[in-house]
Amino acid sequence: MRIFEIRSLTVLIVSLILSTNSLLIKAQNNSDFLWYDYSLPMEERIEALVNSMTLEEKITQLLDESQEISRLDVPRYGWWNECLHGVARTGRSTVFPQAIGLASTFDVELIKQIASAIGDEGRAKFNLAIKNNNRSRFAGITYWSPNVNIFRDPRWGRGQETYGEDPYLTSRIGVAFVNGLQGNDPKYLKAAACAKHYVVHSGPEAVRHEFNAEVSMKDLWETYMPAFEALVTEANVEGVMGAYNRTNGEACCASPYLMTEILRNKWGFDGYFVSDCGAIKDIYEGHGLAQTAEEASAMAIKAGMNLNCGSSFESLNDAVKNGLLTENDIDKAVAQLYKTRFRLGFFDPEENNPFSKIGPEVVGSEEHVNLALKAAQNSMVLVKNKNNVLPLKKDLRTLFVTGPQAANAEALLGNYYGLSGNTVNFLDGIVKKVSVGTSVNYNLGQMPYQNNANPIDWTTDKAANAEACIAVMGFTGIMEGEEGGAIASPEKGDLVNARLPQAQIEFLKTIRSKGNNPLIVVITGGFPVIIPEVMELADAVIYAFYPGEQGGTALADIIFGDVSPSGRMPFTVPKTIDDLPAYENYAMEGRTYRYMTKDPLIPFGFGLSYSSVKYEATGLETSGNMIELNVKVSNEGKYNTEEIAQVYIASPMAGKGHPFYSLKDFQRISLHSGESKEVKFILDKEKFELVDEEGLRFIPEGEFSIYIGGSVPSDRSLELGASKPIGFRISPNEIN
């Protein structure tokens, strides 16, 4: 054997011995640490770990950047991560439609599949990050998603992160998301979801650090609480994040009523509570409820806070020294955090945890890309289709594509997004779909939020004279979003009038004035963009929201007829912002389809397809305390389609301080051309409950009306082309 081979072999043997010794030493050390003994109950392991820490060490664990405790073999962990519509802020991942687009699918099973895919990708990235010793911010698997605040006002720039204006829809989509993300293993979480922002939080963004949201007990329990309650009691969500604002005078991150009495005691929440980032600082700087960081931090800990996103909890040592807290208070907060870390499997051998086996091949996989495409297809909402101008032929002679968002990847993403390297913008999707023989031309044509600096117009004549024109208008995250993210917004992300910018409207008017070719307008954005002029000017209008990485392909599939549109509006679009109460007013009176007295531009739950769907009642039965409604849904058109059958209930007190209608159930149904399906809805007595001024539930005497159809049962829905709903009348008090 050659001398250098002997040396290489010797080096290899020595390395193996050292490596083995290192593992043996670590195993020996860990054997001294009860928290690594996975044969013991979790609570016993956590108690041993917390008791082994000094006060200073415990405090370092209460910050979102939890520090390493090397002497106890506790690694550093960054709690903050996001996954509203895909793993965000950590590089490559599949980008699904923004949350408001997920809601517009009205598809609970699809949302669960998407969230499961997100959980798989997050766990795969985490597994690899740990191997690379990457424990930086956004590398963890405690995701601060979903956002289940109620989108009560179109002016809120973060409404795009929510599931819309309805408590029931928000609850069902939110529960599905949490279940998919966290997985169904009996012992381990795939990832940890977090319900935010608890509670009564939806702007204004500019004053969120000092704002007091005043709300009645009726509105609190009827509108703002149900989604949080469902995520805690049904989905066992692992985390809850407190909002920046006050609610009825109490800071949401230091409220004994919200955090202890309701969340822990009434709902039985057994996860961790985290502040929104910097919210503890707001308690003493914005709200004036404390004088110092240590006072505010002590208030938060006593109310049930476990984790501070920020640095205010660095003052907790002084808070203990000055008698504002005891070390036992700190122990309880730390122990609760470690429940989450143990449930994620951080202190168990990898081979015990099934999620440790998920590899990087799932990230951006073909299966996940196809899921993103399906979600984008199902999310887009067709709200006008004059003379059935859509779908367009793929072999038309000439096509002009224009508009500020047509080739803009930002219009796919919204906020809190990942990066896939696989995005298809609207222009690309359209060009790939049409015939090679079609002459396609494109010009941006109009600046998004202001008049063009150059008055020379090379666009509108060509757009007006093509066989068809597709204009992609609307917004991106630079104008609507969170406080500091919307860099083009003078309102820190909010929308003053929620209208399409006047420059974009004038651009469309000019195109229309020069020709009568089919004008298809696509609206991007995550809020109820108010477009009365566009509804008059355009032949077809599609709300695309922020449809994710496959948005361009999905839009082309719809416009050219490969897919019939099936999305439904997750919010009401008013005719003017003047039809709504003041933005700062959190009362529900006059808001959303449940309480608006003014006729909307586009109703909640509305959306057209390329087919005609008919509803027929086939039976009503009662059994125990259940009501069974049977309906035949028929596709009488020539296109295959997916219909969203929606159940609304109007009480005997409708319009008398109580909702005109409330969504109580829905189903997405696939129907081939000419096909009929029997659909069953089962309603229990709870579906008929109202909420009184004290926040208590009751069922009034008298008959209730039940409506089943493809939109909220209003005259405006029928005027725009919705199927005629069917109705039932019943008195739930007659049921056992």
**DSSP assignment letter at 142:** B
- For this structure, is 684 an active site residue? no
Rounded Cα distance between 30 and 187, Å, is: 22
Residue type, 720: L
At 567 the three-state DSSP class reads: coil
**β-pairing verdict for 519-524 and 540-545:** parallel
**β-pairing verdict for 194-198 and 239-242:** parallel
CB 96, CB 114: distance < 8 Å: yes
Question: Which residues contact residue 390 at a Cβ distance below 8 angstroms, ignoring those fewer than 6 apart?
Answer: 382, 520, 540, 558, 559, 561, 610
Residue ranges of alpha helices (H) inside 275-364 are 279-285, 293-303, 316-321, 327-343
Which residue out of 64, 153, 219, 276 is catalytically annotated?
Answer: 276
In DSSP terms, which residues pair with 643 in a beta bridge? Answer: 669
**β-pairing verdict for 272-275 and 239-242:** parallel
DSSP string computed for 33-60: -GGG-TTS-HHHHHHHHHHHS-HHHHHH
**DSSP assignment letter at 704:** E
In DSSP terms, which residues pair with 523 in a beta bridge? Answer: 473, 543
Helices 108-131 and 366-379 cross at an angle (nearest 10°) of 140
Count other Cβ atoms within 10 Å, centred on residue 319.
25
Identify the CA nearest to 95 among candidates 405, 433, 546, 479: 546
Q: Which residue has the tokens 């992160």?
A: 161
Torsions phi, psi for 688 (to 5 deg) = -100, 0
Ramachandran area for residue 584 (φ above 0: left; ψ -120 to 50: alpha; else beta): alpha
CB 181, CB 83: distance < 8 Å: yes
Rounded Cα distance between 65 and 67, Å, is: 6
Rounded Cα distance between 682 and 687, Å, is: 10
Question: Which residues contact residue 243 at a Cβ distance below 8 angstroms, ignoring those fewer than 6 apart?
Answer: 149, 196, 197, 198, 199, 200, 201, 208, 252, 253, 276, 279
CB 678, CB 630: distance < 8 Å: yes
Rounded Cα distance between 78 and 123, Å, is: 14
Q: Which residue has the tokens 């739930």?
A: 732
**β-pairing verdict for 65-66 and 194-198:** unpaired
Active-site positions read 276
